[in-house]
């Protein structure tokens, strides 16, 4: 039986593994099907402390994994089908195989919602992004587009005007679901233009396989057109990766894990960290910080509940 099982392998999961391993808790890390999480789909990361020249997302995740392994963390490539947190010890089923633990840290993250276009998926990291804070800096002086109609779309469009020469906000309806104050702020920004009743049919690329434009369609008239841009940002929401934990820990109305005290969930001995909890910041550094917190909380719990 393990002292702690860590479910997830992004910045939160790997940081939790580093701290837990250094505390001699022998953590088992369930890495999922995409070890390293969302950062493995990112090219250059410039805002993670300690890398003044920037670092490639996959390289950063590999360094975190190696550091956790150095202190004795073990890794399993697999997915968690279900859990049983109603018993002691806690049980985590990895591809159907049960693993037992005295404590569990959930760090499964959240998945950005995309349009589902083949061209969009192919160009992720080549001009297509779901994180303006992460990637906006790379689009200085360029024309870009943001897809979405909520507050997050307005916030990202406004944020991106710091870098871009112009931002086109594309929405499939003629009315936004964003709050009035955010709509007003966006409309007052001279760099933002609006393209309503419009959907993206295809993301176009140039000779260097970088985003060069969009094939767009007016949903009312059926008219097809092209929009020349060099960057596309998706702001249509995130889905927390919590399907395996429904009915086992308390979730909020959006499906994110609800915390009861510090990083502990509604179940004693079960902790959560990173984007599976955090719907506000969604940054590698904040996820890593929460991973540290969860590992320290788990260590304290194990001392009090040997």
Topology annotation, domain 114-234: FAD/NAD(P)-binding domain (3.50.50)
Query: Is 135 assigned a catalytic role?
Result: yes
pLDDT tier for residue 41 given thresholds of 50, 70 and 90:
low
Topology annotation, domain 2-111+238-304: FAD/NAD(P)-binding domain (3.50.50)
Q: Is the pLDDT of residue 160 over 80?
A: yes
Q: What pLDDT is recorded for position 133?
A: 81
The pLDDT tens digits of the residues spanning 188-214 come to: 999 999 999 999 999 999 878 999 999
Instruction: Determine what percent of the chain is predicted with pLDDT higher than 90.
Output: 84
The pLDDT tens digits of the residues spanning 280-292 come to: 888 899 999 999 9
User: Any idea where the domains of the chain sit in the sequence?
Assistant: 2-111+238-304, 114-234
Query: Is 292 assigned a catalytic role?
Result: no
The pLDDT tens digits of the residues spanning 67-107 come to: 999 999 999 999 999 999 999 999 999 999 999 999 999 99
Instruction: Determine what percent of the chain is predicted with pLDDT higher than 70.
Output: 99
Q: Is the pLDDT of residue 22 over 70?
A: yes
Residue in 66, 81, 95, 135 annotated catalytic: 135
* Six-digit token string for 177: 């679901």
Residue in 3, 134, 278, 297 annotated catalytic: 134
Q: What pLDDT is recorded for position 42?
A: 65
pTM of the entire predicted model? 0.81
Query: Is 131 assigned a catalytic role?
Result: yes
Question: b or e along 108-140 (b: 16 or more beta carbons within 10 Å of the residue's beta carbon)?
Answer: bbbbbeebeeebbeebbeebbbbbbebbbeebe
Residue in 59, 81, 131, 197 annotated catalytic: 131
Tell me if domain 2-111+238-304 and domain 114-234 are identical in fold: yes
Q: What pLDDT is recorded for position 247?
A: 96
Q: Is the pLDDT of residue 39 over 80?
A: no
CA distances from 7 to 30, 126, 138, 150 (A): 5, 29, 32, 31
């Amino acid at each position: 039986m393990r002292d702690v099982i860590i479910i997830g392998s992004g910045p939160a999961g790997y940081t939790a593994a580093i701290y837990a391993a250094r505390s001699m808790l022998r953590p088992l890390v369930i890495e999922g099907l995409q070890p390293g999480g969302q950062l493995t789909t990112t090219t250059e990361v410039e805002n993670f402390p300690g890398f003044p020249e920037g670092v490639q997302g996959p390289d950063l995740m590999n360094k975190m994994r190696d550091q956790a392994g150095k202190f004795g963390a073990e890794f399993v490539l697999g997915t968690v089908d279900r859990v049983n947190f109603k018993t002691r010890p806690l049980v985590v089923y990895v591809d159907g195989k049960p693993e037992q633990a005295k404590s569990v840290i959930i760090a499964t993250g959240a998945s950005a919602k995309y349009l589902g276009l083949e061209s969009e998926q192919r160009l992720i990291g080549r001009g297509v992004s779901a994180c303006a804070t992460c990637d906006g800096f790379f689009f200085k002086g360029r024309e870009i587009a943001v897809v979405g109609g909520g507050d997050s779309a307005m916030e990202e469009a406004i944020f991106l005007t710091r870098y871009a020469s112009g931002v086109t906000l594309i929405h499939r309806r003629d009315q936004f679901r964003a709050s009035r104050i955010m709509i007003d702020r966006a409309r007052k920004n001279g760099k933002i233009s609006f393209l309503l009743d419009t959907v993206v049919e295809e993301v176009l690329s140039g000779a260097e396989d970088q985003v060069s434009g969009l094939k767009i369609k007016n949903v009312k008239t059926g008219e097809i057109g092209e929009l020349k841009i060099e960057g596309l940002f998706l702001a249509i929401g995130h889905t927390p990766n919590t399907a395996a934990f429904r009915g086992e820990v308390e979730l909020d109305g959006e499906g994110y894990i609800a915390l009861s005290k510090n990083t502990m969930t509604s179940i004693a001995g079960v902790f959560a960290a990173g984007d599976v909890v955090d719907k506000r910041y969604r940054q590698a550094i904040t996820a890593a910080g929460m991973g540290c917190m969860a590992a320290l909380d788990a260590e304290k719990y194990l001392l009090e509940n040997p």
